Structure 1
Amino acid sequence: MNDLIVFSPLYKNEDVKICFELYNEIIKNNNLDYANSFVSLLIRLAEKYNLYGNLFNSLLTNLLINNENSFSLALERKHDIAINLKDIVINDFKIIFKMFNTDFSCLTLLQQNLINNFVPSKPVINQELFDISRSLQNSLTNCKDVNEFYDTLEKFFVTYGVGKFGLNKAFRYENNEICPIIHIGNGRLDQLIGYESQKKILTKNTEAFLSGKKANNVLLYGDSGTGKSSSIKALLNEYYKDGLRMIEIYKHQFKYLPSIIQELQSRNYKFILFMDDLSFEEFEIEYKYLKAVIEGGLEKKPDNILIYATSNRRHLVKQTWSDRQDQDEVNINDAKQEKISLSSRFGVKILYTHPNRQNYLEIVDGLAKQYNLQIPQEELHQKALTWEIRYGGFSGRTAKQFINAMLGR
């Protein structure tokens, strides 16, 4: 591992470091006293990194796809690799390729079986990510030589990119860093019943953004429970393979937006900063940070970043009748313009309203079909209308809660 150049360091975790030290003792120094410790540590790492099958190769695969370096980042950006850089990378891959083909026959049959055929008890949280990693692991394991090994990884980095942004769809900002959200829903836009015109406007803007054309920040506003947030989240599953990624930002984090944007602007993905249920009371000033980022600060917002927000308020900042009669404000119109200035920075505003009785029942029918709920339509409608009276009126959220209740029975 000390001989690696471009892919050095291959790991940063202390447990992984110990794992490779044990590996060297066993394979290079033929010291089998460390065999049990090596296997035991691999099993613990399997739990942490969701390793599968050949644990050692699975660990190597995980480290490779998360190693951000001049080679992997250049391929993510679709840049050509210079000949001298390729030569150095191939030299690195000679070392890693040899490790992929390690002969563990010096271990006991039980130890070999654990390493080569491990099936974790931990459930797979992100099946799509797991399948991609597993497919790469199989391809790398079956490579006949270093050149094929290079070609396989080159194709992977061009297709998926590298690191946390390469394979993950959604992220949040916590502890001063952008962290992947592993468990996300698998909803798609065609599963959201109704609101066809709203979804069309949203997808048209998003597709323009992904194709490199001019696109606007979007505000989805209106009644609660109508699918505003679900519409935005569904975009991830529709356009993930086209390079869309989403970062969830809360309003108390707006002061960190410049540093978040700085990290995202050099990556070859299209990022949506998602702000859910966005609104501000009169005493909250965080919206000023957002205004500056969207439009108004000296630094231009990068072309690979848009802001999509949802709110029950069209103007986002709370306004009161007393604002119109404020005796302390000399220029009342200026105060009014200040409060609507944030909303005006969203070029596309999409209104979501509560469905009527017929639309509500259509949503119930659609959800019942999606979940294969076998119940006569007349009975279903009767129960759905009773549920609506008791639990909050006509909305997509009410319909979904009703279907969940029926499935639970």
Structure 2
Amino acid sequence: MEQIVAKLLIYGDLPVDSILMQLSNVYKDFHSGNYSKEDLITRCYRQVKRLLELGTSCAFDKNLWHNYLTYLLIMDENPFSLTCEKVGSKDGSVNHFAINDFHAFKELFDFDFSDLEKSLGIDCFSCITNYKAIDKPELMYNGNVSEKVKALSESLEKTESDDEFFDTVTSFYKRIGVGEFGLNKAFRIRELPEGKVEFNPINNMDAVVLNDLVGYELQKEKLIANTKAFVEGKKANNVLLFGDSGTGKSTSIKAIVNEFYSEGLRMIEIYKYQFRMLSQLIAQIKNRNYKFIIYMDDLSFEEDESDYKFLKAVIEGGVETKPDNILIYATSNRRHLIKETWKDRRDIEQDGDIHRSDTMEEKLSLANRFGVTIGYYKPSRQEFYDIVKVLAERNGIEMDEAELRLEADRWELSHGGVSGRTAQQFITHLQGK
């Protein structure tokens, strides 16, 4: 194995503590003959445990070794894989090195652990290459990662030549992508010491779809139209969803990401204190082959806050043009985002010629930079009943309609008033009884 790993060039920059490098070192010591049997057994078990942990977290099955190698191929963001993601595999000298690496990976796919197992008296590698996972649907894992890794792993198992292996991997890069962005829908960010941004996948994103949001058809149509134009490479606007709480603003954003994920849409959620990282965030994603929504939930600023100026510069007005593959979607309970006071209106000319003050213009200019604004308002009483009725039917709750309305009225009186959120909470309450 150590000789195979040594052949890797494009994919050879693996961390020393990676499973593959650690097993390579095990084989290096094994072939040298200068080793302690107990030490090698311990080291083998340690790496097998790591494979089991990865397999459990991603719900891998059948051949964990193949799943792991496939996971490495998918996650490695190198110049070759990133180019394939953007333009596909093109004729070029780099393909020669890539095929050599894929030949090595094919050897690793077919690697026989039996000599090591026989010498050490262990069978752990035989077990993980014929592995049956425990079916536990309640376990939290990322379904996108699991499905895509297992599907590509099974396709690579069937390849019969280096060229076929090459075509299978590169077509995956072009069709799905590479790294975390290829496998995940949504991310949060964390600032690294060197000033860069780390993207952390949101593994348990709500699987809500737009049909789950009862009502608000005009709002959904407007949001879909703008997002559809965006993913198709047409001109599209930043979007502000404003209005009463519990009306489905955040749900609409999650649903739109689920709706267009297969077309390359990804979401990055950021918070107000992270606005100063916006420029670095954009620099790291502007050349990727995805469409990104930078999502800001419950966006608003108090009178003494100035972080909104970072956002203004990014949306429109900075020296650098915002890339075409990035839009900003925000939700807010405030139409104008920034708290406005009566003293902001004091700058009025004495001759009766009225004009907005500079302070007001400064504050209102942020909301005006969202090209699409969509209002979500509390439903009427009848609309609230309609939402409750539809949700009850969807969840198999059988109750006389008059009684259902009466119970819904009692619930909303002490739970925030009429809204889609209150209706959903009421249905959840009924399900738990």
Structure-1-length-normalised TM-score? 0.93
Q: Secondary structure at the match of 1:178?
A: strand
Which of 342, 357, 362 is the aligned partner of 1:333? 357
Tell me how far apart the structure 2 counterparts of residues 97 and 313 of structure 1 sit (CA, whole Å). 57
Which of 7, 16, 33 is the aligned partner of 2:11? 7
CA shift for structure 1 position 141: 2.0
In terms of mean alpha carbon deviation, does 159-168 or 123-132 score higher? 123-132
Pairs within 5 Å for 1:257-296: 257-296=278-317
| Corresponding position: 1:137 with 2:153 | yes
Show the counterpart of 2:67: 58
Which of 41, 52, 60 is the aligned partner of 1:46? 52
In terms of mean alpha carbon deviation, does 299-308 or 52-61 score higher? 52-61
Pairs within 5 Å for 1:40-119: 40-48=46-54, 50=58, 51-106=60-115, 107=117, 110-119=123-132
Q: Secondary structure at the match of 1:318?
A: coil
> Contact between 1:39 and 1:115, CA under 8 Å: does it hold in 2?
no
Pairs within 5 Å for 1:193-212: 193-212=214-233
Tell me how far apart the structure 2 counterparts of residues 335 and 276 of structure 1 sit (CA, whole Å). 25
> Contact between 1:205 and 1:215, CA under 8 Å: does it hold in 2?
yes
Show the counterpart of 2:394: 370
After superposition, give the CA deviation of every residue in 1:97-148 in whole Å (9 maximum; x if it has no partner). Answer: 0010011223257424422233456835112321111111111122222222
Tell me how far apart the structure 2 counterparts of residues 115 and 302 of structure 1 sit (CA, whole Å). 45
Show the counterpart of 2:210: 189
Tell me how far apart the structure 1 counterparts of residues 293 and 34 of structure 2 sit (CA, whole Å). 52
| Corresponding position: 1:147 with 2:163 | yes
CA shift for structure 1 position 36: 5.0
CA shift for structure 1 position 25: 4.5
Tell me how far apart the structure 1 counterparts of residues 88 and 68 of structure 2 sit (CA, whole Å). 27
Tell me how far apart the structure 1 counterparts of residues 32 and 377 of structure 2 sit (CA, whole Å). 68
In terms of mean alpha carbon deviation, does 382-391 or 201-210 score higher? 382-391
User: Does the C-alpha gap of structure 1 residues 296 and 29 become closer, same or farther in structure 2, counting only changes over 3 Å?
Assistant: farther
Q: Secondary structure at the match of 1:82?
A: coil
Show the counterpart of 1:346: 370
- What's the Cα RMSD here? 2.2
In terms of mean alpha carbon deviation, does 43-52 or 396-405 score higher? 43-52
| Corresponding position: 1:165 with 2:186 | no
Q: Secondary structure at the match of 2:87?
A: coil
Q: Secondary structure at the match of 2:262?
A: helix
Pairs within 5 Å for 1:296-315: 296-315=317-336
CA shift for structure 1 position 407: 0.9
Which of 3, 20, 25 is the aligned partner of 1:21? 25
Q: In the alignment, residue 333 of structure 1 is paired with which amino acid?
A: S
Q: Secondary structure at the match of 2:252?
A: helix
Structure-2-length-normalised TM-score? 0.88
> Contact between 1:244 and 1:272, CA under 8 Å: does it hold in 2?
yes
Q: In the alignment, residue 101 of structure 1 is paired with which amino acid?
A: D
Tell me how far apart the structure 2 counterparts of residues 390 and 192 of structure 1 sit (CA, whole Å). 23
After superposition, give the CA deviation of every residue in 1:238-270 in whole Å (9 maximum; x if it has no partner). Answer: 000100000001111111100000001010000
CA shift for structure 1 position 332: 6.3
User: Does the C-alpha gap of structure 1 residues 369 and 27 become closer, same or farther in structure 2, counting only changes over 3 Å?
Assistant: farther
Which of 350, 375, 383 is the aligned partner of 2:407? 383
In terms of mean alpha carbon deviation, does 346-355 or 132-141 score higher? 132-141
After superposition, give the CA deviation of every residue in 1:253-297 in whole Å (9 maximum; x if it has no partner). Answer: 111100000001010000000000000001000000100111111
CA shift for structure 1 position 394: 0.7
User: Does the C-alpha gap of structure 1 residues 119 and 132 become closer, same or farther in structure 2, counting only changes over 3 Å?
Assistant: same
User: Does the C-alpha gap of structure 1 residues 124 and 105 become closer, same or farther in structure 2, counting only changes over 3 Å?
Assistant: farther
CA shift for structure 1 position 30: 11
Question: What percentage of residue pairs aligned between the two structures are identical?
Answer: 46
Tell me how far apart the structure 2 counterparts of residues 29 and 102 of structure 1 sit (CA, whole Å). 20
Q: Secondary structure at the match of 1:83?
A: coil
After superposition, give the CA deviation of every residue in 1:8-44 in whole Å (9 maximum; x if it has no partner). Answer: 2145644553233224545897979324531442222
> Contact between 2:187 and 2:199, CA under 8 Å: does it hold in 1?
yes
